[in-house]
Structure 1
Amino acid sequence: MNRNEKTVDVLQELNQFVNDRIEGYKHAAKVTKDPAHQSYYKDLINQSTKFSSEINSTISSFGGDPETSTTAKGKIFRGWMDVKSSITGSDEEAVIKSNLRGEEWAQKAYNDALDHRGELPQNVVQMVEKQKQASLATCERLRQMEKSAD
């Protein structure tokens, strides 16, 4: 596998998690009853959509096909959240906790991509690191929201 193929491979996998993030926040925005939270989740959908576009345009620049699907694990997780929210009536804390779990998965996906740092072009590493930092900030904000939801 050459460097371009490796870059495409790493970014396609990462983008499945970013697409999961979009779907997860769409779900959260739909089920939350808190207008401030809904607004924040919509901001995160927009942020994630930008991240996905950035990744896909980078994939294309390396000769790969854009990644539009989500992970199998993400689909299962959202299905479970649908069932759970219908049972618990989507309490705010449960929504926040599931978002936090999803964001922690995103962190793992960014770290997995950065494990290939040596094989990736510097501009790709910088893009991934920038997105990882934004995800980390989201984790912090969600933890604050969780504390105030108690």
Structure 2
Amino acid sequence: MATETTDPIDTLHELLLFVNDRIEGYKRAVEETKDHELQGYYKQLVSQSQQFASELNGHLRKLGGEPETGTTLKGKFYRGWMDAKALITGSDEKAILGSNVYGEEWALKAYQDALDDKTLPAAIRTAVERQLHISEKTHKKLKKLEHSHS
């Protein structure tokens, strides 16, 4: 995705699409889970993701770009597929966790792709690296939770 000639505005827009997917995915998990502990964790992840989006949109505005509030087409299709699957099989905690692990893997890739853009200003690069580090911790915790629900 990102190359040496990428515009930082385009890179931030692309990353924000995935961060916004993350928000939508965790909102869905809050609604679907029956586990109150997991529900609280998912609510924290919604809030965290909204903070990430707010921070990245702030950088985007400073660069002269418009805020990004959309999501990826792939994310929309995936959430639709998960809705259809839940209607047929019902939602269970392992499936919800698995969906969140999968979504987090896509977010991690988006962060890595953004960091491949060598034109990102230092302050933005630092913010993206920090968000990536937090997302990596989230991914590990979700995988651990998924394993414990086996």
The CA deviation at 1:85 is 1.2
Aligned: 1:24 with 2:25? yes
Specify the code of the residue in structure 1 equivalent to 2:105: E
Higher relative contact order (CA 8 A, sep 6+): 2
Q: How does 1:69-84 map to 2 (within 5 A)?
A: 69-84=70-85
Aligned partners of 1:143 and 1:17: how far apart in 2?
19
Q: Between Structure 1 and Structure 2, which shows a larger proportion of helix residues?
A: 1
Aligned: 1:93 with 2:99? no
The CA deviation at 1:88 is 1.8
Question: Residue by residue, what CA displacement relative to the aligned partner does 1:45-93 show, whole Å, maximum 9, x if unpaired?
Answer: 0000000000101000000000000000000000001011112210110
Q: Which residue of 2 aligns with 1:66?
A: 67
Specify the code of the residue in structure 2 equivalent to 1:45: V
- Segments of 5+ residues of structure 2 without an aligned counterpart are none
Aligned partners of 2:120 and 2:143: how far apart in 1?
32
Identity, % of aligned positions? 52
Q: TM-score, normalised by structure 1?
A: 0.95
Aligned partners of 2:128 and 2:85: how far apart in 1?
32
Paired residues, what number? 146
Q: TM-score, normalised by structure 2?
A: 0.95
Specify the code of the residue in structure 2 equivalent to 1:41: Y
Specify the code of the residue in structure 1 equivalent to 2:134: A
Question: Residue by residue, what CA displacement relative to the aligned partner does 1:90-109 show, whole Å, maximum 9, x if unpaired?
Answer: 01100000000000000000
In structure 1, the residue corresponding to 2:9 is in which secondary structure? helix
The CA deviation at 1:7 is 1.2
Q: Which residue of 1 aligns with 2:16?
A: 15
Q: Which residue of 2 aligns with 1:121?
A: 121
Q: How does 1:96-111 map to 2 (within 5 A)?
A: 96-111=97-112
Specify the code of the residue in structure 1 equivalent to 2:76: K
